[in-house]
Structure 1
Amino acid sequence: MEEIIQNTVKILIVDDKKENLLSLQVILSDQGYEFVEAHSGKDALRILLKDQNFAIILMDVQMPMMDGFETAELIRQSDKLKHVPIIFLTANMDTSDYIFKGYQAGAVDYMIKPLSPEILKAKVMVFADLHRKNLELRIKEEETKQLNTIISEANRELKEKYVEIEEFANELKLKNAELDAFAYVSSHDLQEPLRKIQTFTKLILDTENDNLPEGAKAKLGRILNSADRMRDLITSLLTFSRMSVKERIFERVTIESIIEEVRTMLDGSFDGKELVIETQLEGEINVIPFQFTQLFQNLISNSIKFSKPGLAPHIIISQKVVKGVDTGMERLEPQSAYSCITFQDNGIGFEPRHNEKIFGVFQKLHEKTAYEGTGIGLAIVKKIIENHNGIITAHGSPMKGCTFNIFIPH
């Protein structure tokens, strides 16, 4: 940029005598300036109409037809030229009126002939440096203007994108609400015809048992089993929809109280398996109680269902407070405190490649005939954690159990 600015330093020298023009160029030749000659006032005005980019004008006062004063006055009348400094060169400095007339015409300085080369160089250098700085300032202003234009355009586009995202988010919320409502209503409405299927099938088996052939009894039994599975699926769908309700009241509770409630709810459903739950807990957690009760009910039920044959289910539940930065998880706020809950069992586990897949709706990692279930349980667990603005991860290993790590704001 400095090189460009240096090359733009031009000086207009105005004198009707060629030897004076040559003398000025000789004195200033070692400064690297570009000179433009004008042999009269009219000649100078004609040049300035085409090019206004001059650092300074060195002009003789006494010229025929149009002297330096008149030329300077006409230059000062132009908005594009009035900023260019003019130094008068003259041999007549007899009276103060003469000096005043020069300044009134628009000069910034006078130099008396014969000229002092050193003084002339110094004065021209001052105005040349000023010109460079002004030019550099204009370039910076233009760059700033262009940058501001780019920023304004970027901000405008950003606002438009934000509005689009906000509209999309609102539309998505509406669609999710409609989907949840549809799932709830559909599941609820499905229960009535399902109850009738179960009721009438049982009635046929009870009242016509002696008259039915064994094949018919077996088929009716299969109908009842299918109806039971459908009932479980509908119940799970209703539970999943229930997890999306907006009314979420948080309370500070202990995990022990939740586990005790879940034990009571699951009492009698252990299939003769002796359940061991070991806890390593610190203080309270801030949760929606009924949702976290559902969460632990699903996790514990999973551990019982997928326990190793002949081995009692052993569950270890631990909880501590950690900072987001200490978890190594980018999705957590580094300086925020989180309740870290770890749920570990000694069951059959699963392949590590299923660590993410396991939370999908209707996802089953085992044959349908091997383990009963709807495939919604862990999807409900993940939904509950999302309702708490938290994160859950799963880590499994075949025949070595699985571990769930839960992080929720403390």
Structure 2
Amino acid sequence: MAKINRKEVDELVIVHKELAFEKEEKGKRADELIIANKKLVFQNEEKEKRAKELIIANEELLFQNKEKEKRAEELVIANKELAFQNAEKEKRAEELSIANKELAFQNAEKENRAVELRIANKELAFQNAEKEKRAVELRIANKELAFQNAEKEKRAEELSIANEELAFQNKEKEKRAAELIIANKELLAFTYISSHDLQEPLRKIQTFVSIILDKEVLTESGQNYFQRMQLAASRMQQLINDLLEFSRISTTELNFEKIDLNVIVEEVKADLKDTISDKKANLEVRELCSVNIIAFQFRQLMYNLISNALKFSKPDLSSHIQISSRTISGSKLMSESFSPEKKYCHITVKDNGIGFEPHFNERIFEVFQKLHGKEVYAGTGIGLAIVKKIVDNHSGIITATSELNNGAQFDIYIPD
């Protein structure tokens, strides 16, 4: 007998144990089978019932098969439609492929936008914080505005009362203006006639004084008195002439024409040739513009300004007078006096003379306004008043700026 392996013996023992266990289980299954057979008898009875129901169901199925045949025919048609749709889907698939590539590009762009959005969100957070601060400030401002509105309502009521008062005053002013026009006409006529009537006695005084000084034997004191009388009469005659000139500017007809200012300045230089030579003056005239003016009045204006610059030059320094002009828009002139839509000819007359103190900038254009004694500088104080009147006749503006011992500058703005 062959020698039995110990391992096989162990495995055989295990198999026998499993076989014994399986027999026990089979016994249990046999009992369960008896029970199952009883159930099967019951189920067979049920199946007979189901068979009857199945016959009915088969009849129903036959009907459904006929319906299915109809559905099959419809399905053939549907398949053809489906084939067409599949072809369309392939086309759509190709389009979708292109769209996917475009989508991939857009996704890449979206990522870029996302990075930008994160940066923007940080900026937005900062701005929101700032807005909260502004909101607090706005609440404070709203309270202030409410207070101001209440004040404005009070001012509005006061303004309404003031407007009524102003309307009354305007009516009164219109009456005064009408009266003033009549008075001015009478005054101009009186000034003109009186000035002419005063010329004759003054000429006689000057003539008789000249005869006495030439032919009569006088003491030194007497000669001094007569000379002073002659000088006073001469100043009086100059004053009357200046008043006549001022009156003539107010009453003459205003005939405007386009004139080259270079021509005007050259004429004035010719009139003042001797004075310019005596003063060893240098007139620097830059290219001047043409402007719509009253020729003889503007000649008088330039004459007065240049002769003033020569008169008030420094004794130890050659007079240097600069005359220039340029066209400028009213919108660039920072003043309510100028119309933004108009253009102006800006004329500048500047000298290096003795000048005057800044607080005389406005008063210098008043009639009889003299800043220096008649013993030092001759004149009646009407010259610049005439200049101002001429500028007014041209609807223009004139300003003067100066410092003592540092020259003077006159700026004239004439509408183009």
Q: Tell me which interval the TM-score lies in, with the shorter structure as reference length.
A: 0.5 to 0.7
Q: Is 1:177 aligned to 2:185, yes or no?
A: yes
Q: Is 1:231 aligned to 2:243, yes or no?
A: no
CA distance in 2 between partners of 1:272 and 1:255 (Å): 25
CA shift digits 1:221-250 (9 cap, x unpaired): 111111111111111111111110141101
Going from structure 1 to structure 2, the CA distance change for 1:222 and 1:169 (only over 3 Å counts) comes to same
Q: Secondary structure at the match of 1:330?
A: coil
Q: Is 1:336 aligned to 2:363, yes or no?
A: no
Q: Is 1:319 aligned to 2:325, yes or no?
A: yes
Q: Which residue of 2 aligns with 1:63?
A: none
Q: 2:192·2:247 contact (CA, 8 Å) conserved in 1?
A: yes
- Aligned residue identity for 1:165: K
Q: How does 1:13-162 map to 2 (within 5 A)?
A: none
Within the candidate set 160, 170, 195, 1:187 is matched to: 195
Task: Point out 4+ residue stretches in structure 1 off by more than 4 angstroms.
Answer: 152-163
Q: Secondary structure at the match of 1:400?
A: coil
Going from structure 1 to structure 2, the CA distance change for 1:159 and 1:366 (only over 3 Å counts) comes to closer
- Aligned residue identity for 1:180: L
Q: Which residue of 2 aligns with 1:251?
A: 257
CA distance in 2 between partners of 1:173 and 1:291 (Å): 22
Q: How does 1:172-321 map to 2 (within 5 A)?
A: 172-208=180-216, 211-270=217-276, 272-321=278-327
Within the candidate set 347, 358, 382, 2:388 is matched to: 382
CA shift digits 1:154-203 (9 cap, x unpaired): 99988766544333322222222222222222211111100000011111
CA distance in 2 between partners of 1:402 and 1:375 (Å): 16
Going from structure 1 to structure 2, the CA distance change for 1:266 and 1:170 (only over 3 Å counts) comes to same
Q: Secondary structure at the match of 1:321?
A: strand
Where does the alignment leave 5 or more consecutive residues of structure 1 unmatched?
A: 1-151
Q: Is 1:400 aligned to 2:406, yes or no?
A: yes
Q: Which residue of 2 aligns with 1:92?
A: none
Q: Which residue of 1 aligns with 2:94?
A: none
CA distance in 2 between partners of 1:355 and 1:379 (Å): 13
Q: How far off is 1:310 after superposition? A: 2.2
Q: Which residue of 2 aligns with 1:351?
A: 357
User: Please, what is the CA RMSD of the aligned residues?
Assistant: 2.3
Identity %: 51
CA distance in 1 between partners of 2:295 and 2:289 (Å): 15
CA distance in 1 between partners of 2:209 and 2:299 (Å): 34
Q: Which residue of 2 aligns with 1:67?
A: none
Q: Which residue of 1 aligns with 2:379?
A: 373
Going from structure 1 to structure 2, the CA distance change for 1:366 and 1:197 (only over 3 Å counts) comes to same
CA distance in 2 between partners of 1:403 and 1:180 (Å): 31
Q: How far off is 1:338 after superposition? A: 1.0
- Aligned residue identity for 1:203: I
CA shift digits 1:361-403 (9 cap, x unpaired): 1111123322111011111110111111111000011111011
Higher helix share: 2
Query: Which has the larger Rg?
Result: 2
Going from structure 1 to structure 2, the CA distance change for 1:154 and 1:200 (only over 3 Å counts) comes to closer
CA distance in 2 between partners of 1:298 and 1:399 (Å): 20
CA distance in 2 between partners of 1:261 and 1:171 (Å): 40
Where does the alignment leave 5 or more consecutive residues of structure 2 unmatched?
A: 1-159
Q: Secondary structure at the match of 1:371?
A: coil
Going from structure 1 to structure 2, the CA distance change for 1:402 and 1:390 (only over 3 Å counts) comes to same
Q: How far off is 1:408 after superposition? A: 1.2
Q: How far off is 1:345 after superposition? A: 0.6
Q: Secondary structure at the match of 1:361?
A: coil
Going from structure 1 to structure 2, the CA distance change for 1:217 and 1:321 (only over 3 Å counts) comes to same
CA distance in 2 between partners of 1:337 and 1:311 (Å): 37
CA distance in 1 between partners of 2:359 and 2:165 (Å): 40
Q: How far off is 1:332 after superposition? A: 1.2
Within the candidate set 362, 368, 371, 1:362 is matched to: 368
Q: Secondary structure at the match of 1:368?
A: coil
Q: 2:297·2:390 contact (CA, 8 Å) conserved in 1?
A: yes
What's the TM-score once normalised by structure 2's chain length? 0.58
Q: 2:242·2:383 contact (CA, 8 Å) conserved in 1?
A: yes
Q: Secondary structure at the match of 2:374?
A: coil
CA distance in 1 between partners of 2:351 and 2:187 (Å): 34
What's the TM-score once normalised by structure 1's chain length? 0.59
CA distance in 2 between partners of 1:203 and 1:271 (Å): 33
CA shift digits 1:287-332 (9 cap, x unpaired): 1111111111111111011001122211111111111121112111
Q: 2:289·2:327 contact (CA, 8 Å) conserved in 1?
A: no
Q: How far off is 1:254 after superposition? A: 1.2
